[in-house]
Amino acid sequence: MPSGRFLAMTICVVLILLLSTVPGLASDSCISCHLELGGSLGKPSEVFENDIHQQVGLSCASCHGGTPSKNEMEETKGPGTGFIGTPAFQVSHNACPV
């Protein structure tokens, strides 16, 4: 029978592996806020779960900037957060890793 320490360590490793592979588990206010907004602003969040960008580990902030770990819009999209909104097509197309 495994020792208590071995069992605890195994549980920790399994949890770390599981949590690191769950998309969007880290705080991402972009998805949650835009889902609440609905309409044309919510549509990207509705389809993001099956989007190639999400599947390769990119988040909204990867392309749009901002601070998705914050919950207030001023903190997520305000000055100094790096938020750029909709990137110019040529810029985003050339920089897109997908």
Q: Where are the domains of the chain?
A: 23-95
Which pLDDT value is given to residue 27?
Answer: 61
Contact 27, 69 (CB under 8 A): yes
What six digits make up the tokens of 54? Answer: 């999400």
What is the pTM assigned to this prediction? Answer: 0.63
pLDDT digits over 42-67, tens only?
A: 999 999 888 998 888 888 998 899 99
Q: Which residue has the higher pLDDT, 98 or 54?
A: 54
Contact 30, 46 (CB under 8 A): no
How distant is the alpha carbon of residue 91 from its chain centre? 21
Residue 80 parent element (H or E): none
